[in-house]
Amino acid sequence: MGSTKATLITGGGRLRYEKTVKKLKAEVILGSPNAGCSGVGICRVMAATKQIDCPCPSVTTWVGITESGRVQFAFIKSAMDEKMIRRHFRWALFQVLEAYEMPLHITRYLKSPGLLIEPGIYTVWDTPDRLIVEF
């Protein structure tokens, strides 16, 4: 994990991640909502200015909308330890087991109502300071 440029690690047919047109800083709790935020996926997303009322570890993340309308999460590497990176981003893939509907305050800010992250396995782009996933 420490390449000098973001490249496609696996599948998808695209050579790089897209530029975001609008983004905000958020705190993301990784895990599965129905498993009490254990496991893999997206458990909660909160604006970075909101008080976190959960004992689960969170990751500072830039959440944005790409030019083609996809949701992009740019997870800040320095906000995670190696164990968390291995658990959630192993093999340059990010798995979502349960659908996650983005909170209203975030979709309003991004001007993209009804954002839903569907279950699936997503490519991770590894940059020097971020792990980027597009949903």
Q: How many domains are there within the chain?
A: 1
Over residues 8-44, the pLDDT tens digits come to: 334 455 557 788 888 999 999 999 888 777 889 999 9
DSSP letters for 5-49: S----SSSS-SSPPPEEEEEEEEEEEEEGGGTTEEEEEEEEEETT
Q: Is residue 3 part of a domain?
A: no
In a domain, 54, yes or no: yes
Is position 73 within any domain?
A: yes
For 60, the domain range is: 20-134
| Any domain includes 65 | yes
Q: What is the DSSP letter of 114?
A: T
Q: pLDDT digits over 36-91, tens only?
A: 778 899 999 998 876 666 667 789 999 999 988 899 999 999 999 999 999 999 99
pTM above 0.85, yes or no: no
Q: Is residue 15 part of a domain?
A: no
Question: What is the C-alpha to C-alpha distance for residues 126 and 113, in angstroms, rounded to an integer?
Answer: 28
- Structure letter (DSSP) for residue 128: S
In a domain? residue 8: no
Residue 95 pLDDT exceeds 50:
yes
Domain membership flag for residue 62: yes
